[in-house]
Amino acid sequence: MQLYNLKHPSQQVNFSQAVTLGLGKDRGLFFPSEIPVLKNMDELLAMDFVPRCKVVLGAWLADELGQEVVDKLVDKAFNFELPLVKVNDKLSSLELFHGPTLAFKDFGARFMAQCVSHLAGDNKLTILTATSGDTGAAVADAFYGLENVNVMVLFPKGKISELQEKMFTTLGDNIHTVAVESDFDACQAMVKQAFDDPEVRDGLHLNSANSINISRLLAQVCYYFEAVAQFYREHQQAPVVSVPSGNFGNLTAGLFAKAMGLPIKHFVAATNSNDTVPRYLQSGSWQANPTVATMSNAMDVSEPSNWPRVEAICQQLDWPLSLISGVKVDEATTSCSLKQLEAQGYLSEPHAAIAAQGLEQVMAEGDKGIFLATAHPAKFKDVVDRELARDLPLPPELEAVANKESLAVPLEADFEQLKAHMFKLLA
Ligand SMILES: *Cc1c(COP(=O)(O)O)cnc(C)c1O
Protein backbone atom coordinates (compact mmCIF):
# COMPACT_ATOMS: atom_id res chain seq x y z
CA MET A 1 0.00 0.00 0.00
CA GLN A 2 1.31 3.40 -0.95
CA LEU A 3 0.28 6.66 0.70
CA TYR A 4 1.24 10.29 0.24
CA ASN A 5 1.21 13.34 2.48
CA LEU A 6 -1.76 15.56 1.58
CA LYS A 7 0.34 18.64 2.41
CA HIS A 8 3.51 17.47 0.64
CA PRO A 9 2.53 14.94 -2.06
CA SER A 10 6.19 14.18 -2.74
CA GLN A 11 6.45 12.52 0.70
CA GLN A 12 5.41 8.95 -0.07
CA VAL A 13 5.33 6.13 2.45
CA ASN A 14 4.08 2.57 2.74
CA PHE A 15 1.49 1.40 5.27
CA SER A 16 4.07 0.40 7.90
CA GLN A 17 5.71 3.80 7.76
CA ALA A 18 2.35 5.61 7.86
CA VAL A 19 1.28 3.63 10.94
CA THR A 20 4.57 4.29 12.71
CA LEU A 21 4.84 7.98 11.78
CA GLY A 22 1.18 8.84 12.30
CA LEU A 23 1.52 12.21 10.62
CA GLY A 24 3.71 13.39 7.74
CA LYS A 25 5.84 16.50 7.28
CA ASP A 26 4.16 19.69 8.58
CA ARG A 27 1.56 17.51 10.30
CA GLY A 28 0.12 16.50 6.92
CA LEU A 29 -2.26 13.52 6.78
CA PHE A 30 -1.31 10.38 4.88
CA PHE A 31 -3.73 9.43 2.11
CA PRO A 32 -3.77 6.30 -0.09
CA SER A 33 -2.47 6.83 -3.65
CA GLU A 34 -5.04 4.35 -4.86
CA ILE A 35 -8.28 3.00 -3.39
CA PRO A 36 -8.82 -0.69 -4.20
CA VAL A 37 -12.16 -1.62 -5.79
CA LEU A 38 -13.76 -4.93 -4.82
CA LYS A 39 -15.63 -7.03 -7.36
CA ASN A 40 -18.35 -9.63 -6.71
CA MET A 41 -20.06 -7.40 -4.18
CA ASP A 42 -23.02 -9.80 -3.74
CA GLU A 43 -20.69 -12.64 -2.81
CA LEU A 44 -18.74 -10.40 -0.46
CA LEU A 45 -21.88 -9.21 1.30
CA ALA A 46 -23.05 -12.79 1.75
CA MET A 47 -19.90 -13.64 3.75
CA ASP A 48 -19.62 -13.65 7.54
CA PHE A 49 -18.13 -10.57 9.18
CA VAL A 50 -14.62 -11.79 10.06
CA PRO A 51 -13.85 -13.54 6.73
CA ARG A 52 -15.22 -10.50 4.88
CA CYS A 53 -12.95 -8.16 6.92
CA LYS A 54 -9.98 -10.24 5.76
CA VAL A 55 -10.95 -9.64 2.13
CA VAL A 56 -11.65 -5.93 2.64
CA LEU A 57 -8.41 -5.23 4.56
CA GLY A 58 -6.46 -7.66 2.38
CA ALA A 59 -7.32 -5.49 -0.63
CA TRP A 60 -5.36 -2.66 0.99
CA LEU A 61 -2.66 -4.50 2.90
CA ALA A 62 -1.96 -7.97 1.52
CA ASP A 63 0.61 -6.70 -1.02
CA GLU A 64 2.69 -5.23 1.80
CA LEU A 65 2.03 -7.45 4.82
CA GLY A 66 0.93 -10.70 3.18
CA GLN A 67 -2.63 -12.06 3.47
CA GLU A 68 -1.67 -14.39 6.33
CA VAL A 69 -0.58 -11.49 8.50
CA VAL A 70 -3.75 -9.56 7.62
CA ASP A 71 -5.81 -12.60 8.64
CA LYS A 72 -3.98 -12.83 11.96
CA LEU A 73 -4.44 -9.12 12.75
CA VAL A 74 -8.16 -9.31 11.92
CA ASP A 75 -8.68 -12.44 14.06
CA LYS A 76 -7.11 -10.72 17.05
CA ALA A 77 -8.80 -7.32 16.59
CA PHE A 78 -12.40 -8.10 15.62
CA ASN A 79 -14.04 -10.23 18.24
CA PHE A 80 -17.36 -8.59 19.06
CA GLU A 81 -20.88 -8.27 17.66
CA LEU A 82 -22.24 -5.41 15.58
CA PRO A 83 -25.99 -5.85 15.17
CA LEU A 84 -28.13 -3.75 12.83
CA VAL A 85 -31.23 -3.03 14.91
CA LYS A 86 -34.47 -2.00 13.22
CA VAL A 87 -36.03 1.10 14.81
CA ASN A 88 -38.89 1.46 12.31
CA ASP A 89 -39.60 0.67 8.62
CA LYS A 90 -37.24 3.38 7.42
CA LEU A 91 -34.61 3.54 10.13
CA SER A 92 -32.05 1.07 11.46
CA SER A 93 -29.25 1.53 13.97
CA LEU A 94 -25.84 -0.06 13.49
CA GLU A 95 -24.69 -0.71 17.06
CA LEU A 96 -20.94 -0.26 17.19
CA PHE A 97 -20.70 -0.27 20.97
CA HIS A 98 -20.44 -3.95 21.87
CA GLY A 99 -16.64 -3.91 22.17
CA PRO A 100 -14.69 -4.00 25.46
CA THR A 101 -14.97 -0.26 26.20
CA LEU A 102 -18.52 0.07 24.84
CA ALA A 103 -17.69 2.64 22.15
CA PHE A 104 -17.04 2.38 18.43
CA LYS A 105 -13.48 3.56 19.01
CA ASP A 106 -12.71 -0.03 20.00
CA PHE A 107 -12.77 -1.00 16.30
CA GLY A 108 -10.08 1.40 15.20
CA ALA A 109 -8.03 1.15 18.37
CA ARG A 110 -7.93 -2.66 18.47
CA PHE A 111 -6.79 -3.00 14.86
CA MET A 112 -4.26 -0.20 15.26
CA ALA A 113 -2.84 -1.87 18.37
CA GLN A 114 -2.39 -5.16 16.51
CA CYS A 115 -0.72 -3.35 13.58
CA VAL A 116 1.63 -1.35 15.83
CA SER A 117 2.60 -4.43 17.83
CA HIS A 118 3.16 -6.50 14.68
CA LEU A 119 5.31 -3.80 13.06
CA ALA A 120 7.38 -3.27 16.24
CA GLY A 121 8.54 -6.90 16.10
CA ASP A 122 11.39 -7.37 18.55
CA ASN A 123 11.60 -3.69 19.44
CA LYS A 124 9.86 -2.37 22.52
CA LEU A 125 7.64 0.68 21.91
CA THR A 126 6.00 3.20 24.20
CA ILE A 127 2.63 4.64 23.31
CA LEU A 128 2.22 8.03 24.97
CA THR A 129 -1.13 9.75 24.78
CA ALA A 130 -3.35 12.22 26.62
CA THR A 131 -7.07 11.69 26.98
CA SER A 132 -10.09 13.63 28.09
CA GLY A 133 -12.23 10.48 28.15
CA ASP A 134 -13.20 7.77 25.67
CA THR A 135 -10.12 7.50 23.50
CA GLY A 136 -7.86 6.68 26.45
CA ALA A 137 -10.03 3.73 27.43
CA ALA A 138 -10.23 2.31 23.91
CA VAL A 139 -6.47 2.69 23.31
CA ALA A 140 -5.45 1.33 26.72
CA ASP A 141 -7.74 -1.67 26.40
CA ALA A 142 -6.59 -2.37 22.84
CA PHE A 143 -2.89 -2.50 23.82
CA TYR A 144 -3.47 -4.27 27.15
CA GLY A 145 -1.30 -7.37 27.42
CA LEU A 146 0.69 -6.83 24.19
CA GLU A 147 4.25 -7.77 25.12
CA ASN A 148 6.29 -5.37 23.02
CA VAL A 149 4.27 -2.23 23.75
CA ASN A 150 4.02 -0.12 26.90
CA VAL A 151 1.27 2.46 27.13
CA MET A 152 1.26 5.62 29.18
CA VAL A 153 -1.97 7.59 29.35
CA LEU A 154 -2.11 11.07 30.86
CA PHE A 155 -5.42 12.49 32.00
CA PRO A 156 -6.51 15.58 33.96
CA LYS A 157 -7.07 14.53 37.57
CA GLY A 158 -10.68 14.88 38.65
CA LYS A 159 -11.80 16.25 35.28
CA ILE A 160 -13.29 13.07 33.82
CA SER A 161 -16.01 10.93 35.32
CA GLU A 162 -14.89 8.31 37.85
CA LEU A 163 -16.28 5.54 35.71
CA GLN A 164 -14.51 6.80 32.60
CA GLU A 165 -11.28 7.02 34.59
CA LYS A 166 -11.63 3.49 35.91
CA MET A 167 -12.05 2.09 32.42
CA PHE A 168 -8.34 2.61 31.77
CA THR A 169 -6.69 3.12 35.17
CA THR A 170 -7.61 -0.29 36.58
CA LEU A 171 -5.98 -2.45 33.89
CA GLY A 172 -2.38 -2.52 35.13
CA ASP A 173 0.25 -4.74 33.43
CA ASN A 174 1.64 -2.75 30.45
CA ILE A 175 -0.90 0.06 30.85
CA HIS A 176 0.49 2.93 32.94
CA THR A 177 -1.69 5.88 33.83
CA VAL A 178 -0.88 9.30 35.22
CA ALA A 179 -3.37 11.67 36.86
CA VAL A 180 -2.04 15.13 36.11
CA GLU A 181 -2.91 17.87 38.60
CA SER A 182 -4.16 20.18 35.86
CA ASP A 183 -6.39 20.28 32.78
CA PHE A 184 -6.43 18.38 29.48
CA ASP A 185 -4.42 21.05 27.65
CA ALA A 186 -1.62 20.66 30.19
CA CYS A 187 -1.64 16.87 29.59
CA GLN A 188 -1.41 17.42 25.86
CA ALA A 189 1.41 19.91 26.32
CA MET A 190 3.38 17.34 28.36
CA VAL A 191 2.88 14.72 25.66
CA LYS A 192 4.11 17.15 23.05
CA GLN A 193 7.19 17.98 25.18
CA ALA A 194 7.98 14.29 25.44
CA PHE A 195 7.86 13.87 21.64
CA ASP A 196 10.12 16.94 21.27
CA ASP A 197 12.68 15.55 23.75
CA PRO A 198 15.12 13.28 21.84
CA GLU A 199 16.13 11.45 25.03
CA VAL A 200 12.57 10.39 25.71
CA ARG A 201 11.45 10.02 22.08
CA ASP A 202 14.36 7.85 20.97
CA GLY A 203 15.25 6.31 24.32
CA LEU A 204 11.74 4.94 24.90
CA HIS A 205 10.75 4.58 21.20
CA LEU A 206 7.69 6.79 21.48
CA ASN A 207 4.70 6.31 19.20
CA SER A 208 1.56 8.42 19.34
CA ALA A 209 -1.12 6.02 18.08
CA ASN A 210 -3.57 8.89 17.78
CA SER A 211 -6.89 9.21 16.05
CA ILE A 212 -5.55 10.23 12.65
CA ASN A 213 -3.60 6.96 12.26
CA ILE A 214 -4.47 5.35 8.92
CA SER A 215 -4.76 1.87 10.47
CA ARG A 216 -7.79 3.03 12.47
CA LEU A 217 -9.61 4.29 9.40
CA LEU A 218 -9.04 1.11 7.42
CA ALA A 219 -10.45 -0.95 10.28
CA GLN A 220 -13.54 1.24 10.36
CA VAL A 221 -14.22 0.61 6.66
CA CYS A 222 -15.15 -2.95 7.65
CA TYR A 223 -18.26 -2.11 9.64
CA TYR A 224 -19.82 -0.21 6.74
CA PHE A 225 -19.68 -3.46 4.74
CA GLU A 226 -21.37 -5.27 7.63
CA ALA A 227 -24.06 -2.56 7.87
CA VAL A 228 -24.97 -2.88 4.20
CA ALA A 229 -24.74 -6.69 4.30
CA GLN A 230 -27.31 -6.86 7.12
CA PHE A 231 -29.44 -4.15 5.52
CA TYR A 232 -29.59 -6.06 2.19
CA ARG A 233 -31.09 -9.08 3.89
CA GLU A 234 -34.24 -7.01 4.32
CA HIS A 235 -34.13 -4.21 1.75
CA GLN A 236 -33.20 -4.30 -1.94
CA GLN A 237 -31.82 -0.79 -2.20
CA ALA A 238 -28.74 1.21 -1.25
CA PRO A 239 -29.12 2.91 2.16
CA VAL A 240 -28.57 6.50 3.20
CA VAL A 241 -26.01 6.39 6.02
CA SER A 242 -25.85 8.96 8.82
CA VAL A 243 -22.63 9.42 10.78
CA PRO A 244 -22.41 11.29 14.11
CA SER A 245 -19.28 13.31 13.45
CA GLY A 246 -16.56 14.99 15.48
CA ASN A 247 -13.15 14.55 13.91
CA PHE A 248 -14.70 12.94 10.81
CA GLY A 249 -12.66 9.74 10.91
CA ASN A 250 -15.85 7.73 10.90
CA LEU A 251 -17.24 9.49 7.81
CA THR A 252 -13.87 9.17 6.06
CA ALA A 253 -14.04 5.39 6.54
CA GLY A 254 -17.56 5.34 5.10
CA LEU A 255 -16.40 7.19 2.01
CA PHE A 256 -13.52 4.71 1.59
CA ALA A 257 -16.09 1.89 1.76
CA LYS A 258 -18.21 3.49 -0.96
CA ALA A 259 -15.10 4.11 -3.07
CA MET A 260 -14.31 0.38 -2.78
CA GLY A 261 -17.67 -0.34 -4.41
CA LEU A 262 -20.02 -0.66 -1.43
CA PRO A 263 -23.52 0.53 -2.40
CA ILE A 264 -24.32 3.55 -0.23
CA LYS A 265 -26.70 6.10 -1.74
CA HIS A 266 -25.87 9.17 0.29
CA PHE A 267 -24.12 10.26 3.49
CA VAL A 268 -25.32 12.49 6.30
CA ALA A 269 -22.63 14.23 8.37
CA ALA A 270 -24.54 14.94 11.58
CA THR A 271 -22.90 17.25 14.11
CA ASN A 272 -23.89 18.91 17.37
CA SER A 273 -23.65 22.70 17.74
CA ASN A 274 -20.00 22.46 16.72
CA ASP A 275 -21.15 22.75 13.12
CA THR A 276 -18.15 23.90 11.10
CA VAL A 277 -18.75 21.24 8.45
CA PRO A 278 -22.53 21.68 7.95
CA ARG A 279 -21.97 25.42 7.55
CA TYR A 280 -19.09 24.81 5.17
CA LEU A 281 -21.16 22.44 3.02
CA GLN A 282 -23.86 25.14 2.82
CA SER A 283 -21.73 28.17 2.17
CA GLY A 284 -18.45 26.87 0.76
CA SER A 285 -16.53 28.91 3.31
CA TRP A 286 -14.61 27.34 6.22
CA GLN A 287 -15.27 29.28 9.43
CA ALA A 288 -14.44 27.45 12.64
CA ASN A 289 -16.06 28.95 15.74
CA PRO A 290 -14.77 28.35 19.28
CA THR A 291 -15.69 24.85 20.48
CA VAL A 292 -18.78 24.68 22.69
CA ALA A 293 -19.59 21.96 25.26
CA THR A 294 -22.61 19.75 24.46
CA MET A 295 -24.29 16.55 25.69
CA SER A 296 -22.57 14.67 22.86
CA ASN A 297 -19.14 15.63 24.14
CA ALA A 298 -17.17 13.15 22.00
CA MET A 299 -18.17 15.36 19.06
CA ASP A 300 -17.20 18.70 20.59
CA VAL A 301 -14.73 19.48 17.81
CA SER A 302 -14.72 22.62 15.71
CA GLU A 303 -11.60 21.93 13.60
CA PRO A 304 -12.11 18.30 12.51
CA SER A 305 -8.69 16.83 11.76
CA ASN A 306 -9.84 14.30 9.13
CA TRP A 307 -11.70 16.76 6.92
CA PRO A 308 -8.85 17.07 4.34
CA ARG A 309 -9.19 13.32 3.78
CA VAL A 310 -12.93 13.69 3.06
CA GLU A 311 -12.17 16.28 0.40
CA ALA A 312 -9.34 14.19 -1.03
CA ILE A 313 -11.59 11.15 -1.53
CA CYS A 314 -14.27 13.20 -3.28
CA GLN A 315 -11.61 14.74 -5.49
CA GLN A 316 -9.96 11.41 -6.34
CA LEU A 317 -13.31 9.86 -7.33
CA ASP A 318 -14.79 12.97 -8.90
CA TRP A 319 -17.68 12.96 -6.43
CA PRO A 320 -19.46 16.24 -5.71
CA LEU A 321 -19.38 17.26 -2.04
CA SER A 322 -23.19 17.22 -2.31
CA LEU A 323 -22.87 13.44 -1.81
CA ILE A 324 -22.71 14.48 1.87
CA SER A 325 -25.50 16.42 3.57
CA GLY A 326 -24.41 18.31 6.67
CA VAL A 327 -26.94 18.57 9.48
CA LYS A 328 -26.42 20.45 12.72
CA VAL A 329 -28.51 19.20 15.63
CA ASP A 330 -28.73 21.56 18.61
CA GLU A 331 -29.19 20.48 22.24
CA ALA A 332 -32.99 20.81 22.34
CA THR A 333 -33.37 18.78 19.14
CA THR A 334 -30.94 16.15 20.43
CA SER A 335 -33.13 15.77 23.49
CA CYS A 336 -36.28 15.46 21.31
CA SER A 337 -34.58 12.85 19.15
CA LEU A 338 -33.61 10.79 22.23
CA LYS A 339 -37.23 10.88 23.39
CA GLN A 340 -38.63 10.01 19.95
CA LEU A 341 -36.32 7.02 19.70
CA GLU A 342 -37.34 5.90 23.18
CA ALA A 343 -41.02 6.23 22.22
CA GLN A 344 -40.33 3.79 19.37
CA GLY A 345 -38.79 1.35 21.79
CA TYR A 346 -35.16 2.22 21.10
CA LEU A 347 -32.98 3.38 23.98
CA SER A 348 -30.15 5.55 22.70
CA GLU A 349 -27.64 8.21 23.77
CA PRO A 350 -26.91 11.72 22.46
CA HIS A 351 -24.40 10.89 19.69
CA ALA A 352 -26.60 8.31 18.00
CA ALA A 353 -29.68 10.47 18.56
CA ILE A 354 -28.00 13.22 16.55
CA ALA A 355 -27.27 10.81 13.71
CA ALA A 356 -30.88 9.55 13.75
CA GLN A 357 -32.17 13.11 13.61
CA GLY A 358 -29.86 13.94 10.69
CA LEU A 359 -31.22 10.95 8.80
CA GLU A 360 -34.84 11.98 9.40
CA GLN A 361 -34.12 15.42 8.00
CA VAL A 362 -32.30 14.25 4.88
CA MET A 363 -34.09 11.08 3.72
CA ALA A 364 -36.29 11.54 0.65
CA GLU A 365 -39.53 9.66 -0.16
CA GLY A 366 -38.72 5.97 -0.58
CA ASP A 367 -35.28 6.17 1.07
CA LYS A 368 -34.24 3.89 3.86
CA GLY A 369 -31.42 4.68 6.22
CA ILE A 370 -28.88 3.51 8.75
CA PHE A 371 -27.54 5.64 11.58
CA LEU A 372 -24.36 4.68 13.39
CA ALA A 373 -24.75 4.19 17.15
CA THR A 374 -21.26 4.99 18.46
CA ALA A 375 -21.59 4.56 22.23
CA HIS A 376 -23.50 2.41 24.70
CA PRO A 377 -26.32 4.42 26.37
CA ALA A 378 -24.85 3.58 29.80
CA LYS A 379 -21.61 5.36 28.85
CA PHE A 380 -23.66 8.55 28.88
CA LYS A 381 -25.78 7.52 31.84
CA ASP A 382 -25.91 11.01 33.39
CA VAL A 383 -27.39 12.60 30.28
CA VAL A 384 -29.67 9.69 29.38
CA ASP A 385 -31.03 9.42 32.94
CA ARG A 386 -31.70 13.15 33.01
CA GLU A 387 -33.27 13.47 29.55
CA LEU A 388 -35.38 10.33 29.74
CA ALA A 389 -36.08 10.33 33.47
CA ARG A 390 -34.57 6.89 33.91
CA ASP A 391 -32.02 5.14 36.05
CA LEU A 392 -30.05 2.98 33.63
CA PRO A 393 -28.38 -0.12 35.05
CA LEU A 394 -24.65 -0.44 34.44
CA PRO A 395 -23.73 -3.14 31.90
CA PRO A 396 -21.44 -5.87 33.30
CA GLU A 397 -18.33 -4.36 31.64
CA LEU A 398 -18.83 -1.12 33.55
CA GLU A 399 -20.01 -2.78 36.76
CA ALA A 400 -16.77 -4.79 36.84
CA VAL A 401 -14.47 -1.78 36.62
CA ALA A 402 -16.57 0.39 38.95
CA ASN A 403 -15.54 -1.88 41.83
CA LYS A 404 -11.82 -1.91 41.03
CA GLU A 405 -9.08 0.29 42.43
CA SER A 406 -7.57 3.00 40.21
CA LEU A 407 -3.83 2.43 39.67
CA ALA A 408 -3.16 5.94 38.36
CA VAL A 409 -0.08 7.72 39.69
CA PRO A 410 -0.64 11.41 40.56
CA LEU A 411 1.91 13.84 39.12
CA GLU A 412 2.15 17.60 38.89
CA ALA A 413 1.93 19.20 35.47
CA ASP A 414 5.71 19.19 35.22
CA PHE A 415 7.56 17.59 32.33
CA GLU A 416 10.71 16.73 34.31
CA GLN A 417 8.64 14.73 36.79
CA LEU A 418 6.93 12.90 33.95
CA LYS A 419 10.28 12.18 32.30
CA ALA A 420 11.75 10.73 35.50
CA HIS A 421 8.62 8.65 36.03
CA MET A 422 8.75 7.31 32.47
CA PHE A 423 12.40 6.29 32.68
CA LYS A 424 11.88 4.65 36.05
CA LEU A 425 8.99 2.56 34.74
CA LEU A 426 9.80 1.95 31.12
CA ALA A 427 13.53 2.11 30.39
C1 LIG B 1 -15.25 9.83 18.74
C2 LIG B 1 -16.73 9.73 18.77
C3 LIG B 1 -17.55 10.25 17.74
C4 LIG B 1 -16.99 11.04 16.58
O5 LIG B 1 -16.30 10.25 15.65
P6 LIG B 1 -15.30 10.90 14.61
O7 LIG B 1 -14.68 9.79 13.87
O8 LIG B 1 -14.31 11.69 15.42
O9 LIG B 1 -16.11 11.81 13.72
C10 LIG B 1 -18.92 10.04 17.81
N11 LIG B 1 -19.47 9.38 18.85
C12 LIG B 1 -18.73 8.88 19.86
C13 LIG B 1 -19.42 8.19 20.99
C14 LIG B 1 -17.34 9.03 19.86
O15 LIG B 1 -16.62 8.53 20.88
Q: pTM here?
A: 0.95
3-state secondary structure of 324: strand
Contact 292, 273 (CB under 8 A): yes
CA angle 320, 325, 331 (to 5 degrees): 155
Q: Is the CB of 136 under 6 A from ligand 1?
A: no
- Which of 167, 250, 277, 297 gets mutated to test ligand 1 (max ligand atoms within 8 A of its CB)? 250
Regarding the beta carbon of 374 and ligand 1, being less than 6 Å apart is answered yes
Give 252 Cα–ligand 1 centroid separation in angstroms: 12
Task: Verify whether ligand 1 is closer than 6 Å to residue 298 (CB atom).
Answer: yes
pLDDT for 136? 87
Strand partners, 124: none
The number of the ligand 1 atom at minimal distance from the alpha carbon of 243 is 9
How distant is the alpha carbon of residue 382 from its chain centre? Answer: 22
Dihedral sign for Cα 239, 297, 135, 388, please: negative
Residue 64: per-residue pLDDT? 98
Q: Please work out whether the CB of residue 254 comes within 6 Å of at least one atom of ligand 1.
A: no
Question: Which pLDDT tens digits describe the chain residue by residue (427 residues)?
Answer: 999 999 999 999 999 999 998 999 998 999 999 999 999 999 999 999 999 999 999 999 999 999 999 999 999 999 999 999 999 999 999 999 999 999 999 999 999 999 999 999 999 999 999 987 778 889 999 999 999 999 999 999 988 888 889 999 999 999 999 999 998 889 989 999 999 999 999 999 998 877 789 999 999 999 999 999 999 999 999 999 999 999 999 999 999 999 999 999 999 999 999 999 999 999 999 999 998 999 999 899 999 999 999 999 999 999 999 999 999 999 999 999 999 999 999 999 999 999 999 999 999 999 999 999 999 999 999 999 999 999 999 988 889 898 899 999 999 999 999 999 999 999 8
Report CA Rg, the chain: 21
What pLDDT sits at residue 164?
84
Atom of ligand 1 nearest to the CA of 349: 13
Question: In angstroms, what is the span from residue 300 Cα to ligand 1's centroid?
Answer: 9
- Predicted pLDDT at 185: 84
Ligand 1 center to residue 222 CA distance, Å?
16
* Main-chain dihedrals φ then ψ at residue 2, nearest 5 degrees: -115, 140
Give the Cα separation of 423 and 147 in Å (integer).
18
Give the contacts of 383 (CB within 8 A, at least 6 positions apart): 295, 349, 350
Task: Return the amino acid letter for 409.
Answer: V
Containing H/E element for 415? helix 415-426
Torsion of Cα atoms, 306 then 308 then 312 then 318, to 10°: 100
Q: Which atom of ligand 1 is nearest to the CA of 247?
A: 8
250 lines ligand 1 (CB under 6 A): yes
d(CA 236, CA 233): 8
Counting atoms of ligand 1 from 1, which one is nearest the CA of 351?
11
Reference 114, options 40, 57, 168; nearest CA is: 57
Q: Contact 253/224 with Cβ under 8 angstroms?
A: yes
Q: What is the pLDDT of residue 93?
A: 98
